[in-house]
Structure 1
Amino acid sequence: MAQSDFLYPENPRRRQEVNRLHKQLLDCLADSFHATNELTGVLNVHLGCRLALIEMRREGTIKENCDIIIQAMVEIQKELQKVDEALRDKLEPTLYRKLQDIKERETEKIAIVQKVISVILGEATAAASAVAVKLVGSSVTSGIISKLVGVLAQIGASLLGSIGVAALGLGIDMIFRAILGAVEKTQLQAAIKSYEKHLVEFKSASEKYHQAITEVTNTVKRQIQ
């Protein structure tokens, strides 16, 4: 126990809490890397995209890893926007509006897209049409991905952003190695509050993101069975 811990006996507990929350944040980041790669694979296979897979940088900071996911999501959004613009260009206005109508049946939307998907991609498959319906012009692109991008940007800009991804266990001491006593207490309390705040937002946004991707992959599986 550090000498300052005798004066501030709650500091060791606070360090453990920071360590625990840090692990939770890393788990969420790792899940988002995996989900993004899963979505990338679907887009590459079924919509003819050439998006690169991403990998978590174990020696990087939280901000650097957030930025990697954000950049991948921005590229995904660009590809989906291209497909959306092509659909709007090839479809009659009334049919395109049906794609945006949440009350319209999904099977009907897939049938609409399949009429022109061959012109856009060079071939027509039910799976490609299903992916387009699930992602283009839906809340996945306009809401879910945008929300997660915003949360990741906030985390990167927060005091957590400069903390290394590998900073676990004794590594936490490296974060606060120049801080002792009351100053460390303040920093630890601030870190805990920041982790807790951002984890709530991150978990909520990432769960919706993962759920949307699962729905896409399940739809694709049904189409190719």
Structure 2
Amino acid sequence: MAQSDFLYPENPKRRQEVNRLHQQLLDCLSDSFHATNKLIVVLNGHLGCRLAAIEMQRDGTIKENCDIIIHAVTKIQKELQKVDAALKDKLEPTLYRKLQDVKERETEKIAIVQKVISVILGEATSAASAVAVKLVGSNITTGIINKLVTVLAQIGASLLGSIGVAVLGLGIDMIFRAILGAVEKTQLQTAIKSYEKHLVEFKSASEKYNKAITEVTNTVEYQMK
């Protein structure tokens, strides 16, 4: 036990709490990396994209890893915007509006896209229309992805951003450079509040993002049967 812990006996518990919250943040980051790569596989396989897979940098900081995801999903959005623009150009205005109508049945939307998707992609798989409908004719590219990007940017800009991803193996003291006494107490309390604040939003954004991508991949698997 550090000497300062005799004066501030709650500090060890605070360090453990920071450890726990840090692991939760890493889990959310890891899930977002995994979901993004699943989406990249679908886009490359069915919409003719050439997106590179991403990898979590274990020797990097939280900010660096947040930036990797942000960069990847921004590229994904640009690719989907190209598909959206092509659909808008090839479809009659009334048919294109149906794609954006949340009340329209998904099967009807897929039938609409199937009329022109091969013209856009050259040769299209049977699942390409369903993927286009799921991603272009929904709020995945706008609401869900934009929210994830916003939260990741906020985390990167916070005091958590400079913390290394792999600090757990080195001990929590490495995070705060063994700050002692009341200063450490304040720093730990500040860190806990920061983790808790960002994790609430990140968990929500990450879960919605992962769910949306799972729906896309499930649709592809159904179409491929």
TM-score range, shorter chain: over 0.9
Tell me the amino acid that sits aligned with residue 194 of structure 1. Answer: S
Which one is further off, 177-186 or 92-101?
A: 177-186
For residues 126 and 79 of structure 2, the distance between their equivalents in structure 1, rounded to whole angstroms, comes to 19
After TM superposition, where is structure 1 displaced by more than 4 Å over at least 4 residues in a row?
Answer: none
> What is the rounded CA distance, in whole Å, between the counterparts of 1:169 and 1:124 in structure 2?
47
Distance of 2:4 and 2:89 partners within structure 1: 68
Distance 1:200 1:220 in 2: 31
SS of corresponding position for 1:161: coil
**Alignment identity in percent?**
86
Structure 1 segment 62-211 matched on structure 2, within 5 A: 62-211=62-211
Return the alpha-carbon distance in structure 2 between the equivalents of residues 171 and 119 of structure 1: 56
Is the Cα–Cα contact under 8 Å of residues 159 and 191 in structure 1 kept in the other structure? Answer: yes
Code of the aligned partner of 2:118: S
Aligned CA RMSD, in angstroms, stands at: 0.9
Residues 80 and 136 in structure 1, CA contact (< 8 A), matched pair in contact too: yes
TM-fit CA distance, 1:174: 1.1
SS at 1:168's partner residue?
helix
Please tell me whether the aligned partners of residues 46 and 127 of structure 2 are also in contact (alpha carbons under 8 angstroms): yes
CA distance in 2, matches of 1:169, 1:117: 49
Instruction: Quote the residue 2:46 is aligned against.
Output: 46
**Distance of 2:90 and 2:191 partners within structure 1:** 52
SS of residue in 2 equivalent to 1:126: coil
Structure 2: segments with no counterpart, 5+ residues: none
Q: 1: CA distance between counterparts of 2:166 and 2:99?
A: 45
Amino acid aligned to 1:128: A
Q: Which amino acid aligns with 1:56?
A: M
Q: Report if aligned partners of 2:47, 2:124 keep a CA contact under 8 Å in 1.
A: no
Counterpart position of 2:220: 220
Residue 173 of structure 1 aligns with an amino acid whose one-letter code is D
